[in-house]
Amino acid sequence: MISGLFRPPTGALVRITCMTVKCVAFVGFAVFQMAGTKLAMLRAPASVIRGGILLACYAAHVSGQTACEAELNRADAHTSCAVQRMRTRRTASIVAFGGSVTWGAGLDNPVNESWANVLATLLQQINVVDHAHVRNLAIRAHGSEAAANCFDNMLRPGSSGSPVDDVFGAAPSLTNHAVPPEPADIVLFEFSINGQKDLDKLMRNLRRRYPDAIFLYVQHFALWAESSLRDEPAARRKNFLENATWSASWYSPDLSMCPIRPDLQANFKLFSVKLFSLRSTLRSLSPKQVSGYFAPDLHHLSRAGHALVAEGALQTIVRAAGCGGPGCDKHRLGPDRADGCAASETAEFHDTRASSCFLWYNSGKVDPKLHLLRPGVELSRLEGAGTKYAFLISGDCGLGPRQVGFAFRAAAGATVQIAFMRDGGAKYGEAKVTLDHAGTNLVQGGVDGFQHHILTLQTIGVTRHNGTHHFWVEASSCNRSFAVAGVTVLEPQN
């Protein structure tokens, strides 16, 4: 038997009990149908969605979760108290970190249709809150490294991170470093495609800052095989549906196999991170059904895919907040309130370091605190995308400016990195990068066998004095450009 509680917009508390292996939960129309150990999604009409969706009747043994997912997502007092605080305040603050999927690439209206924003809407529809604010801090074509190093800048007031009206990097002068970032109730992560470098660092620092927030990681995956990455979208879909060249790694009927690596499992346990696995959710569907949740490139999500991920994320949170049953972790329950939830269990930590992330990649505007030493060099929009900008410099073949330089102020001991674009084709070449003329670093914009076109960070050096520093980038590959997307200056960790 499976039972679930929900509170519809009318405010009445309703219990639905499912006593068969085939369970249908609905408000006017069917939303979910669960059969055996598999989960299939049935889309409800928009009118029903606007009226409120019931996301109950959900349990590990019918959702297709693996054993490690069930362990990570077990009910606990931490999640229960976080939901209770949101319900009491009637507001929720959501922060989302990720790549182009979380950004909403391919959607007509990323601000409203990306999964983080749909999750905010669902929280209101099931009457947990009246208002939910989303700060979408996703960076397209990048993994977790920039977020791990720049999260403090990204979270400051004035840094909306909106995929359309991006202030992070666009107008850093508006960022108020004297004001701590606003609190967060839910912190979302999605870094499964472009790399998870320093993900543990990001989670550690954010857990330090937001000790009471719900952390949830979405495990996304792409349907293309590496050998077919450069195929046109139509060919990708055709090959996948015909089961010819596509990898079937997304399908694994063995529920004993965890969808994430052991090191991620350990970090998720350490930092109390819940997991929603798209791979586990779709494991029982046919290739045609699965492809419907993806955009034509079979990498990004379709609108239905974003809705699916948002619903799955909400299910995970609702289930983890259901403290009281077997296996409920009550170790954080305190005696000061009848419900065991303090108004705020731990004071938030705010980083006082003066780190600066000068990233114009998202918005095409450079922080005025970073002085451009080659005024004739202009930012270029990459691949026609509205949020991918870089200074393009060329080799010594008379094709354009060869150098770009920057001046900035920093204390001694700061680590300086260059942010640049890297791919495996012949588009980008090599550059010589120097910090304070203290030696040359060779940075490769093109790497054989590297099939992605992504934003990459590389450490150049450490500042040796207080004051002004100079950072120079010189393209050294004839007929190949080098794309400079930012400079990060990281103060030593406390």
Which segments of 221-277 does DSSP mark as H helices, in order? Answer: 233-241, 262-270
Domain residue spans of the chain: 1-61, 64-320, 356-490
Which one is the CATH code of 64-320: 3.40.50.720, 3.40.50.2000, 3.60.20.10, 3.40.50.1110?
3.40.50.1110
β-bridge partners, 431: 443, 475
Among the listed residues 418, 423, 424, 442, the one whose alpha carbon sits nearest the alpha carbon of residue 432: 442
- pLDDT score recorded for residue 350: 54
What type of residue is 41?
M
What would the pLDDT profile of 53-88 be if each residue is shown by its tens digit?
Answer: 333 333 333 346 788 898 999 998 889 999 999 999
CA distance 233 to 270: 39
Token code pair at residue 158: 């004035």
Q: Which fold has domain 356-490?
A: Jelly Rolls (2.60.120)
pLDDT in tens, the chain (494 residues): 333 333 333 333 333 333 222 333 333 223 333 322 233 333 333 322 322 333 333 333 334 678 889 899 999 888 999 999 999 999 999 999 999 999 999 899 998 999 999 999 999 999 999 999 999 999 988 889 999 988 888 887 655 444 333 333 333 333 444 555 678 999 999 998 888 999 999 999 999 999 999 999 999 988 765 445 556 666 666 666 665 344 444 454 455 678 888 999 999 999 999 999 998 888 777 778 888 999 988 889 999 999 999 999 999 999 999 854 444 444 433 333 445 576 554 445 555 555 788 888 887 888 888 999 876 788 888 876 567 889 988 866 655 668 899 999 999 999 999 999 988 766 788 999 999 988 899 999 887 655 567 899 999 999 999 999 999 999 988 778 899 999 999 887 65
Quote the pTM value: 0.79
Among the listed residues 291, 293, 489, 286, the one whose alpha carbon sits nearest the alpha carbon of residue 407: 489
CA distance 245 to 232: 14
DSSP readout, 302-362?
-HHHHHHHHHHHHHHHHHHT-TTSTT-B-TT--SSSTTS--S-SSPPP------EEEE-TT
Question: How many CB atoms sit inside 10 A of residue 6's CB?
Answer: 21
Residues 6 or more apart in contact with residue 59 via CB below 8 angstroms = 2, 319
Strands (E), 338-444: 356-359, 371-372, 379-381, 389-393, 403-410, 415-422, 430-435, 440-444
User: What burial class does residue 238 get, using C-beta atoms within 10 Å of its C-beta: 0-12 exposed, 13-18 middle, 19+ buried?
Assistant: middle
User: Please, what's the largest Cα pairwise distance for the chain?
Assistant: 75
CA-based Rg of the chain, rounded to a whole angstrom? 24
Sequence-distant contacts of 4-13: CB under 8 A, at least 24 apart:
4/56, 4/57, 4/58, 4/318, 4/322, 5/56, 5/322, 6/54, 6/55, 6/56, 6/126, 7/126, 7/127, 7/128, 8/52, 8/54, 8/126, 8/127, 9/51, 9/52, 9/125, 9/127, 11/127
- pLDDT score recorded for residue 260: 86
